[in-house]
Chain A
Amino acid sequence: AVSHYRLFPKALGRLVAALGVRELHLALTQGFWRTRYWGQPPLQAPAGAELWVWFQPTVTDVDKAWKELSNILSGIFCASLNFIDSTNTVIPTASFKPLGLANGTDHHLLRYAVLPREVVCTENLTPWKKLLPCGSKAGLAVLLKAERLFHSSYHSQAVHIRPVCRDASCLAVSWELRQTLTVVFDFFSSGQGKKDWSLFKMFSRTLTDTCPLASQSKVYVDISPKNKEKELLEVSPPPTSVHEAIVQGDKKTYAVYDLLSPSLFNTSRSLNVQLKWKRPQDSSEMPIPTLHAQRYVGGYGLQTGEICTLIYNTHPFRAFPVILLETVPWYLRLYVHTLTIVTKGKENKPSYIHYQPAQDRRRPHLLEMLIQLPANSVTKITIQFERALLKWTEYPPDPNHGFYVGSSVLSALVPSVIAMKDLDVEQSPLFTSLFPSSDGSSYFVRLYTEPLLVNLPTPDFSMPYNVICLTCTVVAVCYGSFYNLLTRTFHVEEPSRGGLAKRLANVIRKFRGVPPL
């Protein structure tokens, strides 16, 4: 077998070719996106590690390929993806459609797994940076230094591989590797007071040059005016151009810094983008997104509980459907007959339910529903569960910390208030891949809810030691005493003059002034 690589990293290329992968999406996230404070996320990922893969139809044993793939990826990215096995892998039927070219979608070729307990650290960022052709030596990746990136409220890095058309006529297909990094620096809440920022303040370095291999290298700064007020903020140095786009139903204006244009580095050798607010912000409210959700555990005690999901549709007059995918580990036994979906006080029947019950120690629960959300409403989905008692070797090292339940996934085509134009792939590859829109009236959104932390009834792990101590003591004391009683023989003894104990006792009695024995 022969394969040649130029810009595409060889490690991923050989992996994709050897295991028959059609699409691969891996995300490692630390933190949770606070929709109420930060607005709609551009690309959200669930807390922990998420991996979903579409395999080629030529792959015969998909489970074997999935296991090999997760093991090899865990080596490449230094993450514990090797913990992905059949107990946390599911096969969704409707939520995850291929994002690249697809020739038919048999959902048995799809696998999805989430590891909510996974932690992201610099060890995961380094191999991510190694995949870039220029590495972190030139271009925009120069800014990505670990000690600033992890000093943030939210950090998410992702790798996406999919097949795309090479040009408009689509005669040849290429592999596209997309690497995204989403970081939230929350200066306002971390006590610095002002909302002014600069590249130097965030990353403690500035941009000096571009990667010579890049055909496009741009920085976009969102300068959309809020409430139609202009001149609220100021960006320096002046941008090379201004770009307007409709992103997720909102009209947004971006100041564009094109690093490849020669005029940018004319005055100074480094580019430090700064944003200053002209007037102090009185309210830090972000516009509420059309679709957002919350999830929490209800109930009390260690026997039963209830998972409640609240989905909000804040669109004033349009209703739209949403697909909810929930993966619940097998040790929380769901009772599907207690599933209730209530909207505005009335029962809401889903038009499509796919439920796969769990098998103990083999398969998790999978619940997929298509729910119609009426305009301007809150939908509450509740399902009750019972907590199982695990075998004593199955508890993790700190069992009282709790057990994680992965985020549930909401996929929807949200109608947008403003009509969107079809964007040209060549002109703005960033926007067409991040915010694709098949028709001008709605945009695709994938949201994740919070992960849950659930306590299971935990046994007392010191019991084997207690049992051994108690049994041995009882046996020794009882058996020993009985045996002695039964077999002791009595002799008559001459009174002795007194042993050491009597002499010691007399010494003490002399000190006390009491007559000796």
Chain B
Amino acid sequence: AAPVQVQLVVPMAVVFGPGSVPGDLPRPLPFRDVQEMEISVNLRTSVTSRYEMLYRSTTGQEEAALAAATAREADAALHPLQDTTLGSLTVYVVPETSSLLPQGIKVYVGKHRSALVRAGGSLAALQAQLREVAQVMSFTASSIAAALSDRVPDGQLSPDARRYLKSSLGYEITFSLLNPDPKSHTVDWDIEGAVNRYVKPVLDKLSLVANFSVDSQILYYAVLGVTPRYDKESSSFLLSAHSLPHVINPVEARLGSSAASLYPVLNFLLYVPERSHSPLYIQDKDGAPVSTNAFHSPRWGGIMVYNVEAPASSQASLPLHVDVDMARVMEVFLAQLRLLFGLSREEVPPEFLLERPGNEGLADWELDHLLWAHTVENIATVSTTLTSLAQLLDKIGNIVIKDDVASEVYRAVDSVQSAVTELSLGHLHAAFQASKEAITSSEKAFFDPSLLHLLYFPDDQKFAIYIPLFLPMAVPILLSLAKIVRETRQCKKEPTKMD
């Protein structure tokens, strides 16, 4: 793998509210400080994270905003006063006795790029707290290692490392309704309305990261590949956790690959079980039924089972009409979408309180999370691609590089260099755009079909033509040369024997 040295710079502003300034400041406010940390992935890849902090005190407007009743209102009031460039963070330090933060909570992370921290006494304790906040809101060592998971030796990877979607220029999301028993159930879902109401706001927010396209379909007579077990106690059918991996393969043949585009596809399936297999529950590893009745597969998508209530009378006329409750379904699917992208909120320390993102689906700092990870991944991928191309050219001398391929390679190199520069300056948005350009150019150069043109021209064919021609000519010449050499050697040995 090619050596990659990247410096990630996060500009942070630490704003001290009245009464929260620690006593042991080295210099009077405002002043700047830098904290660096090394995240070494392997011998040749190193990522340094650098937090450039600006310590200052509050302005009058910020003081007024911090005087709000709850943390949420304070956060909303502070939002127009902050620096909202991508990648930057603002931390407000409130006094220890402040009532903004509830009991036992030391840090409150808002919907945008700001956090409220309770003052902790000394500057060192505050800086430790700030480091934690910065890691939660931008990137951690494990998230960077997950982005560079191709380069990390296997033993050091956490099990979550390879489960997030790889960075791509676009994603296709497909919602499929599987109805294996159309004779018993007529299922109607208002997917258009649900997509507009629930999914579109999230995708609009994520449109900075990639292009999204959504479609949906209804598949009939599509069965899961696994027969569920009947459980007498709960009088329901159960799908055990270890049979879940076998569910996806038979279904995938019916889902239809998207032939018209090259983006990776995320499938979200809603399965309405047959009348003879209702109700159907998914069991987790401990044997308890999963509350959402859904599971997801990394880098593929998610499946949710929607049980239809049995009709009150057994003589009800078939088929039963089912109107799917789209709010419940979309809740699960959007949660799965967040998990697929790696935006889980499970690894925060206990004294943190994270604000819920509301209708938009994700907070601004979670978007930054994705952008940091994707930028680093893009840079690593581009350097690997270009290095492979160079190694290929070294090995096979036959390949002809056309001018446009060469210009794409130059463009990729320039873009990668500019991405690394922008990262070291703290401009996340510009770095991300540059890394996307670099990926496009490097893929175009590497997968250009003209590279394969003269690839298969083996050397033995050249030998096969020339050897039958030159060998018979060369044999008498070589034999007589050998004879001449022998005679001159003999002559030299016995010069006196000449008559």
Chain B binder among A14-22, A160-168, A350-358, A388-396: A14-22
Chain A binder among B8-16, B212-220, B403-411: B212-220
Query: Bound state CA distance, A135 and B220, in angstroms?
Result: 8
Most buried by B among A1, A10, A134, A213: A10
Contact A213 B182 (CB under 8 A): yes
Contact A130 B254 (CB under 8 A): yes
Also in contact, A135 and B221, with CB within 8 A (given A2-B195, A2-B213, A5-B215): yes
Contact B468 A5 (CB under 8 A): no
Also in contact, A4 and B183, with CB within 8 A (given A14-B258, A480-B473, A480-B476): no
Query: Bound state CA distance, A285 and B352, in angstroms?
Result: 90
Contacting residues, chain B, for A18 (C-beta < 8 A): 260-261
Also in contact, A2 and B465, with CB within 8 A (given A15-B260, A475-B473): no
Also in contact, A212 and B477, with CB within 8 A (given A3-B215, A472-B469, A480-B472): no
Query: Bound state CA distance, A133 and B219, in angstroms?
Result: 7
Also in contact, A4 and B191, with CB within 8 A (given A10-B256, A19-B260, A138-B221): yes
Contact A475 B259 (CB under 8 A): no
Query: Bound state CA distance, A10 and B260, in angstroms?
Result: 11
Also in contact, A5 and B218, with CB within 8 A (given A18-B261, A212-B319): yes
Cβ contacts A332-372/B at 8 Å (1 or 0 each)? 00000000000000000000000000000000000000000
Contact A14 B260 (CB under 8 A): yes
Also in contact, A475 and B472, with CB within 8 A (given A1-B213, A11-B256, A213-B182): yes
In the complex, what's the smallest C-beta–C-beta distance from B214 to chain A, in angstroms? 5
Cβ contacts B241-265/A at 8 Å (1 or 0 each)? 0000000000000101111110000
Contacting residues, chain A, for B472 (C-beta < 8 A): 472, 475-476, 479-480
Out of A2, A3, A471, A483, name the residue touching B477 (CB < 8 Å).
Answer: A483
Out of A3, A6, A480, name the residue touching B218 (CB < 8 Å).
Answer: A6
Query: Bound state CA distance, A341 and B94, in angstroms?
Result: 99
Interface size on A, residues (CB 8 A): 36
The reply to whether the CB of A468 lies closer than 8 angstroms to some CB of chain B is yes
Contacting residues, chain B, for A212 (C-beta < 8 A): 182-183, 186, 319
The reply to whether the CB of A9 lies closer than 8 angstroms to some CB of chain B is yes
The reply to whether the CB of A75 lies closer than 8 angstroms to some CB of chain B is yes
Cβ contacts A129-156/B at 8 Å (1 or 0 each)? 0100111011000000000000000000
Query: Bound state CA distance, A124 and B227, in angstroms?
Result: 30
Cβ contacts A394-424/B at 8 Å (1 or 0 each)? 0000000000000000000000000000000
Contacting residues, chain B, for A14 (C-beta < 8 A): 215, 258-260
Contacting residues, chain A, for B97 (C-beta < 8 A): none
Contact A72 B480 (CB under 8 A): no
Out of A2, A471, A476, A487, name the residue touching B214 (CB < 8 Å).
Answer: A2
The reply to whether the CB of A76 lies closer than 8 angstroms to some CB of chain B is yes
Cβ contacts A471-502/B at 8 Å (1 or 0 each)? 11001100110011001000000000000000
The reply to whether the CB of B231 lies closer than 8 angstroms to some CB of chain A is no
In the complex, what's the smallest C-beta–C-beta distance from B127 to chain A, in angstroms? 48
The reply to whether the CB of B192 lies closer than 8 angstroms to some CB of chain A is yes
Contacting residues, chain B, for A7 (C-beta < 8 A): 218
Query: Bound state CA distance, A18 and B191, in angstroms?
Result: 21
Contact B220 A72 (CB under 8 A): no
Query: Bound state CA distance, A137 and B182, in angstroms?
Result: 11
Main SS of the interface on chain A? helix
Contact residues of A between 1 and 51, Cβ < 8 Å to B: 1-7, 9-11, 14-15, 18-19
Interface size on B, residues (CB 8 A): 32
- Which chain B residue shows the least CB distance to A482? B476
Query: Bound state CA distance, A469 and B469, in angstroms?
Result: 9
Query: Bound state CA distance, A213 and B319, in angstroms?
Result: 11
Contact B260 A137 (CB under 8 A): no
Also in contact, A4 and B260, with CB within 8 A (given A134-B221, A135-B220): no
Contacting residues, chain A, for B217 (C-beta < 8 A): 4-6, 9-10
- Which chain A residue shows the least CB distance to B192? A4
Contact A15 B182 (CB under 8 A): no
Contacting residues, chain B, for A76 (C-beta < 8 A): 259
- Which chain A residue shows the least CB distance to B203? A2
Contacting residues, chain A, for B257 (C-beta < 8 A): 11
In the complex, what's the smallest C-beta–C-beta distance from A391 to chain B, in angstroms? 18
Query: Bound state CA distance, A130 and B217, in angstroms?
Result: 14
In the complex, what's the smallest C-beta–C-beta distance from A505 to chain B, in angstroms? 28
Contacting residues, chain A, for B195 (C-beta < 8 A): 2
Contacting residues, chain B, for A75 (C-beta < 8 A): 259
- Which chain A residue shows the least CB distance to B256? A11
In the complex, what's the smallest C-beta–C-beta distance from B447 to chain A, in angstroms? 16
Query: Bound state CA distance, A233 and B221, in angstroms?
Result: 39
Contact A11 B213 (CB under 8 A): no
In the complex, what's the smallest C-beta–C-beta distance from B229 to chain A, in angstroms? 24
Query: Bound state CA distance, A11 and B261, in angstroms?
Result: 11
Query: Bound state CA distance, A186 and B122, in angstroms?
Result: 96
In the complex, what's the smallest C-beta–C-beta distance from A75 to chain B, in angstroms? 6
In the complex, what's the smallest C-beta–C-beta distance from B322 to chain A, in angstroms? 14
Contacting residues, chain A, for B220 (C-beta < 8 A): 133-135, 213
- Which chain A residue shows the least CB distance to B184? A212
In the complex, what's the smallest C-beta–C-beta distance from A380 to chain B, in angstroms? 46
Query: Bound state CA distance, A471 and B470, in angstroms?
Result: 11
Contact residues of B between 449 and 499, Cβ < 8 Å to A: 465, 468-469, 472-473, 475-477, 480
Query: Bound state CA distance, A11 and B172, in angstroms?
Result: 13
Also in contact, A11 and B259, with CB within 8 A (given A212-B319, A483-B477): yes
Contacting residues, chain A, for B477 (C-beta < 8 A): 483
Out of B216, B256, B476, name the residue touching A9 (CB < 8 Å).
Answer: B256
In the complex, what's the smallest C-beta–C-beta distance from A414 to chain B, in angstroms? 39
Contact A10 B473 (CB under 8 A): no
- Which chain B residue shows the least CB distance to A18? B260
Query: Bound state CA distance, A2 and B259, in angstroms?
Result: 16
Query: Bound state CA distance, A471 and B259, in angstroms?
Result: 53
In the complex, what's the smallest C-beta–C-beta distance from B205 to chain A, in angstroms? 16
Query: Bound state CA distance, A475 and B471, in angstroms?
Result: 10
Query: Bound state CA distance, A368 and B475, in angstroms?
Result: 66
In the complex, what's the smallest C-beta–C-beta distance from B37 to chain A, in angstroms? 42
Cβ contacts A189-226/B at 8 Å (1 or 0 each)? 00000000000000000000000110000000000000
Contacting residues, chain A, for B476 (C-beta < 8 A): 480, 483-484
Contact residues of B between 355 and 399, Cβ < 8 Å to A: none
Cβ contacts A441-478/B at 8 Å (1 or 0 each)? 00000000000000000000000000011011001100
- Which chain B residue shows the least CB distance to A488? B480
Query: Bound state CA distance, A406 and B257, in angstroms?
Result: 32
Most buried by A among B216, B221, B475: B221
Contact A476 B191 (CB under 8 A): no
- What are 6 pairs between A and B in contact, CB < 8 Å? A1-B213, A4-B192, A5-B218, A11-B259, A19-B260, A468-B468
- Other contacts beyond A5-B217, A484-B476: 17, CB < 8 A: A1-B215, A2-B195, A2-B215, A4-B192, A4-B215, A4-B217, A5-B218, A9-B217, A10-B217, A11-B256, A11-B259, A134-B220, A135-B221, A468-B468, A472-B472, A476-B473, A483-B480
B-side residues, CB < 8 A to A, are 174, 182-183, 186, 191-192, 195, 213-218, 220-221, 254, 256-261, 319, 465, 468-469, 472-473, 475-477, 480
Going nearest first, the 4 A-B pairs with the smallest beta carbon separation are A476-B472, A18-B260, A472-B468, A137-B221
